[in-house]
């Protein structure tokens, strides 16, 4: 399954990127009235010898005078457009959100925290209900750590959008997608089982995934920061693992008749419905709740369900191994 969680959750969040244009420039940036507002603000408040008091929390999050002018002018222009019955536009690729405690997108930060907690609770569940001797346990634990790391970088990015925080967010999400494919192959094809042939295949598969990730990051960092390529790469990996888990889930349900075996399908359906929020992007309600933040909220439930599936699948696998013994 997908993005920053079950590989399917990771996929769909990135799949949305196919429908969304990423850009450092937006319609709002090109408005003459916005440019003039920023220039006037900087001239009156940020010129040498001018003293502009910036709240302490804002300074901690690296808001400086020009950034404060940019933020203030975004809302001045937005209020003017609303008063004139004109549509709200984006600035620097983002809607004009209201800050909270210096955070640029406080609701996305909050819902990213929810997802982080979902992975953290999932980690505790894996440790509590899957015995240490189960061969897939270590792969599932790493999945939890990848999920927590990915959402931690999402929290940082939505708190303050810089080139560095954006790149860390993308690299963490991309790593989670690739790891989702990695452990899906290990579980489905039972590469975790001991045996000289499978051990060789596992080593080759592990090496291939590490090399692919290094090449991916190296290309984006040293050659070109290419949004289209980044999205395409993650979507391809996500689609592959989605198909793998879907076939695995169907076959397991057909063999066992257990409803929980179909949970991966429920997760995918849930995410596909939530994905409509991103496709139907809209300005934030009350200056805080936009489609992207609600998308983050929509991934919390599927994450918890996915961990339940991993535990059930592990317990069923262990019971089957004992029965055969």
Give the pLDDT confidence score for residue 321 in this predicted structure: 64
pTM for the structure as a whole: 0.86
- Rounded Cα distance, 161 and 292, in Å: 15
- Rounded Cα distance, 193 and 189, in Å: 9
Q: Could you tell me the two tokens for 303?
A: 């994450």
Residue 13: pLDDT band by 50, 70, 90 thresholds?
very low
Q: What is the pLDDT of residues 38-82, one digit of tens each?
A: 999 999 999 887 778 899 999 999 999 999 999 999 999 999 999
Compute the C-alpha angle 220/221/224, nearest 5°: 50
Q: What are the helix (H) ranges across the chain? A: 7-15, 27-30, 32-45, 56-60, 65-83, 106-129, 137-159, 163-188, 196-218, 227-256, 263-279, 291-298, 300-324
- Rounded Cα distance, 126 and 304, in Å: 12
Give the pLDDT confidence score for residue 306 in this predicted structure: 93
Spell out the domains of the chain, with CATH numbers in brackets: 7-22+104-324 (1.20.1070), 27-83 (no CATH)
Give the pLDDT confidence score for residue 3 in this predicted structure: 46
Q: What is the pLDDT of residues 127-142, one digit of tens each?
A: 999 999 999 999 999 9
DSSP notation for 247-303: HHHHHHHHHH--GGGGHHHHHHHHHHHHHHHHHT--PPBTTTB-HHHHHHHHTHHHH
> What is the average pLDDT across 223-245?
83
Q: What are the helix (H) ranges across 189-220? A: 196-218
| Dihedral angle over CA of 170, 172, 173, 175, nearest 10 | 120
3 state DSSP class of 97: coil
- Rounded Cα distance, 155 and 106, in Å: 9
Distances (CA, A) of 114 to 141, 147, 159, 253: 19, 12, 15, 30
Residue 216: pLDDT band by 50, 70, 90 thresholds?
very high
- Rounded Cα distance, 291 and 278, in Å: 5
Q: Beta-carbon neighbour count of residue 48 at 10 Å? A: 4
- Rounded Cα distance, 182 and 143, in Å: 10
Radius of gyration of the chain (CA): 23
Task: List the single range of 30-34, 126-130, 206-210, 288-292 with lowest mean pLDDT.
Answer: 288-292
Q: Could you tell me the two tokens for 244?
A: 């793998």
Mean pLDDT of the chain, nearest integer: 86
Residues 6+ apart with CB under 8 A from 115: 4, 5, 147, 151, 154, 296, 299, 300, 303
Q: What is the pLDDT of residues 244-301, one digit of tens each?
A: 888 888 888 888 888 898 888 788 778 777 777 766 778 778 878 888 888 889 889 9
């Amino acid at each position: 399954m997908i993005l920053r969680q079950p590989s399917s959750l990771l996929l769909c969040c990135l799949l949305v990127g196919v429908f969304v244009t990423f850009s450092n420039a937006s319609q709002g940036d090109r408005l003459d009235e916005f440019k003039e507002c920023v220039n006037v603000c900087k001239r009156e408040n940020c010129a040498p010898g001018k003293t502009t008091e910036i709240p302490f929390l804002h300074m901690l999050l690296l808001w400086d005078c020009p950034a404060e002018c940019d933020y203030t002018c975004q809302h001045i222009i937005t209020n003017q457009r609303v008063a004139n019955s004109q549509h709200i536009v984006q600035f620097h690729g983002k809607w004009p959100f209201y800050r909270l405690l210096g955070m640029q997108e406080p609701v996305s930060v909050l819902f990213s925290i929810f997802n982080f907690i979902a992975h953290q609770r999932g980690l505790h569940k894996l440790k509590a209900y899957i015995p240490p001797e189960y061969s897939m346990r270590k792969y599932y634990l790493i999945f939890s750590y990848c999920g927590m790391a990915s959402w931690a970088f999402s929290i940082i990015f939505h708190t303050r959008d810089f080139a560095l925080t954006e790149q860390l967010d993308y690299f963490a999400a991309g790593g989670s997608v690739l790891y989702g494919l990695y452990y899906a192959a290990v579980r489905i094809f039972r590469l975790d089982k001991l045996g000289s042939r499978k051990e060789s295949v596992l080593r080759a598969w592990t090496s291939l995934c590490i090399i692919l990730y290094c090449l991916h990051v190296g290309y984006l960092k040293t050659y070109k920061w290419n949004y289209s390529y980044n999205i395409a790469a993650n979507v391809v990996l996500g689609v592959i693992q989605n198909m793998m888990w879907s076939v695995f889930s169907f076959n397991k349900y057909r063999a066992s008749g257990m409803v929980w075996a179909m949970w991966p399908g429920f997760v995918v359906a849930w995410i596909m419905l939530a994905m409509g929020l991103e496709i139907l992007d809209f300005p934030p309600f009350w200056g805080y709740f936009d489609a992207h933040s609600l998308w983050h909220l929509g991934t919390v439930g599927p994450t918890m369900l996915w961990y339940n599936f991993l535990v059930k699948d592990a317990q069923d696998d262990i019971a089957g191994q004992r029965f055969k013994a």
